[in-house]
Chain A
Amino acid sequence: MFSLRKLWLYIRTVSGDNDYEVYLENFSSCKKHKKNCPLSRGEYFKSKLEGKWNKINRCC
């Protein structure tokens, strides 16, 4: 049912606020990366933005 916590999680996910947490979770669960260190929060955010804006991302 409707809950404020779910709404908050939704807003965080849509806006990308919790992207880094999701990234860390995926990182630790994925065996491929075991030897490397995950990116820092700042680096991850920067690379994410660059990936987002190097193509048509906003319309008329």
Chain B
Amino acid sequence: MKNIGNKIIWALVSLLGAFAFSLIALQREESINAIWFITAAICIFTVAYRFYSAWIATKALVIDGSRQTPAVKFSNSQDFVPTNKWVLFGIHFAAIAGPGPLVGPTLAAQFGYLPGTIWILVGAVVGGAVQDMVILFFSVRRNGKSLGQMAKEELGALAGFASMIGTFVIMIILIAVLGLVVVNAMKNSPWATSTVVATIPIAILVGFYMRFIRPGRVLEATAIGVILLLMAVYMGSIIDNSESMRSYFDHSGLFLAWSLIIYGFIAAVLPIWMLLAPRDYLSTFVKLGTIIFLAIAIAIMQPEIKMPAVTQFVDGSGPIFGGSVFPFVFITIACGAISGFHALISSGTTPKLIDNERHIPMIGYGGMLLEAFVAIMAMVAACVLEPGIYFAINSPVGIVGTEANEIISKINSWGYSVSVEQMNQLAEDVGESTLFARTGGAPSLAVGMATIFANAFGKHLLALWYHFAIMFEAVFILTTLDSGTRVGRFMLQDMLGNLHPKLGQTSWLPSIILTSFIVVSCWGYFLYIGVIDPNGGVNILWPLFGIANQMLAAIALSVGTAILIKSDKIKFAWITAIPLVWLMIVTTTASYQKIFSEDVRIGFLSAANSMSEKISNGYIPDYGIDVAQKLIFNLKLDAGITIFLVIILWIVIIDVIRIALTTKIKNRKRKLSDV
């Protein structure tokens, strides 16, 4: 009886999911309610988890609950600690879910809600969650080896090297683009800037509390910190209203970028307990709290989606970033659908904490599905805005101009109604002087979230909600920046250790300073260029980050495919090979277009050429030539990086093909000898 009841329930969940999905996909005439996005995601994800992940676990991977995991085998109460599965789920989710799934969908909303939503739902189920789970499983079976080590052993030395370099490049580009998102949210906004600045002393205070006053009392300290953060958001409004105080926090993008670069260096050199660890505690709690709050607010308010299903920008003329819906929606939304970065966590900390192999589907597959759910909510938050407002906030000055009237008439010409008064009113409501040209996704997401929160929990609080959302994003972007710089430093120290053993010592101060300086300079350069670029920088940096991240995912899936083939499971190799082939097509097409497209908004080289022509024809005023020359250099550099990433990708793919062929030949020989 119970069995039949179960079947009926799963059939109903599947039907509801299919219904919600078809509603999202087919609704054109009337606007659609956001609740259907949430319903579709929950139903599709639970069905996929219950059936697909269970099938992979039992049939393809053959998970064995009686087999000792590395955590049990090497239990040392340091790295290897058998951990309760719910606890580990929390730790793993906190590690994989950063700002990426919030920013990507917000940017991809320029194509309309449909392309991004389909990619998140399908990509996570078939690609991202499979990658995370398979890599976690293989790492557990290999005593917690890292992706780099597995790539080296299973695919060859070149692939191992490729994954290491790929990781470093991703880290640099990721930090730069996230830094740019924060800078765009803070520029000329005393309220946002003062709140974000206040998070630094608050984190240090929490750090001292946890280290000296009440050592290790994480929850107490975090509670104090969260209260202080909320007070800082409120204090921001007082600073914003005071003429004398606001001038201290009213800065241009360039000033903020330099401040962030200097901050990044200091943060990377300071001891972990002082700034990085306490801020991470704060950001994790604020993040989880906000996500839960957002889900509740969407459920209460059930907002209508205002964005059309598909906009005219699918043709590649989008204002936020150039490029057509294929391949760029799949590049723009990496985290949230499939993110190669996750493979580093799935083969890093998590496999050393797994108590039983049977927990792998929940932690690997389930963790990623929860992140995809966050991405869906970010998509909803962007799409509940009037499209006119969404584009007015996100379009860079290089596309729409600087004057309010100019911007509005441009956006109206695309067919999206919005007025200067409307934008001024909105800016006033959220306590900002202007919301124009805040490219990067954080402010539009904050406006979207603030609208949802304010409608559900009180309208007069719109400005507070907005700055809370900005603070929330800034806090964990800064955590990613701190920890990313530090990891980049360790990787560099590891490499430099081959040149001189002293440089490889992670605690030797001159080495710390030197390597931190190199890492910060690398991302600082891209951040600086992003800020001086009138097209907003996001147009260049986000696709570059997406390509790098998808390339790392392709390496991870290649490792998975190679191991499946080698262990005589070639008939199951499609579970990783299908997403691999898809990423190969997407990444290669996107890279080709980014390098060679003749559209100056897409192709790096044609943009560089067009700018050189403008200089030689005298179209660029003398004061702009310096910036233009820097941009030309940067465009060529970006083209070089993209070529480099594609070459790495293809080296790895050729390795997989080679392994598939040699295994096939071996098997044939074996069969012949059997006869």
Contacts and interface: CB of A to CB of B under 8 A. Distances in A.
Nearest to B220: A17
B480 interface: yes
A53 B219 contact: no
A58 B210 contact: no
Contacts of A15: 218-219, 222, 281, 284-285
B342 interface: yes
A49 interface: yes
B96 interface: yes
* Residue in A23, A51, A53 whose Cβ sees the most chain B Cβ within 10 Å: A53
* Residue in B211, B272, B284, B335 whose Cβ sees the most chain A Cβ within 10 Å: B272
Contact of B100 (A10, A44, A46, A60): A60
Contacts of A26: 77
A40 B280 CA distance: 23
A59 B344 contact: yes
B98 A60 contact: yes
A17 B219 contact: yes
Given A11-B219, A17-B217, A49-B272, A56 B487 contact: yes
Interface string B44-88: 000000000000000000000000000000000111000010110
B345 A46 contact: no
A59 B100 contact: yes
Contacts of B210: 45
A53 B91 contact: no
A51 B215 contact: no
* Residue in A41, A54, A55 whose Cβ sees the most chain B Cβ within 10 Å: A55
Contacts of A53: 272, 276-277, 483, 486
Interface string B93-112: 01111111000000000000
A19 B281 CA distance: 15
Given A10-B86, A15-B222, A59 B216 contact: no
Interface residues of B, number: 53
Contacts of B483: 53, 56-58
Nearest to B100: A60
Contacts of A50: 272
B174 interface: yes
A28 interface: no
Contacts of A41: 215-216
B215 A42 contact: yes
Nearest to A26: B77
A41 to B, nearest CB: 4
Given A53-B483, A57-B349, A60-B480, A23 B77 contact: yes
Given A14-B91, A15-B281, A46-B211, A60 B216 contact: no
B90 interface: yes
Interface in B338-387: 339, 341-342, 344-345, 348-349
A7 to B, nearest CB: 11
B623 interface: no
B479 interface: yes
A55 B84 contact: no
B263 to A, nearest CB: 17
Nearest to B277: A49
Interface string A20-42: 10010010000000000000111
A17 B79 contact: no
Given A14-B86, A56-B487, A59-B97, 14 more contacts: A10-B87, A13-B87, A14-B87, A15-B284, A15-B285, A45-B215, A54-B506, A55-B348, A56-B167, A57-B487, A58-B484, A59-B480, A60-B98, A60-B100
14 contacts: A10-B86, A14-B86, A16-B218, A17-B216, A45-B210, A45-B273, A46-B273, A49-B273, A51-B79, A56-B167, A56-B487, A57-B349, A58-B479, A59-B97
Interface of B: 77-79, 84, 86-87, 90-91, 94-100, 167, 174, 210-212, 215-219, 222, 272-273, 276-277, 280-281, 284-285, 334-335, 339, 341-342, 344-345, 348-349, 479-480, 483-484, 486-487, 490, 506, 545, 549
Nearest 10 Cβ contacts at the A-B interface: A60-B100, A42-B215, A14-B90, A45-B216, A41-B215, A17-B218, A58-B483, A17-B219, A60-B335, A56-B344
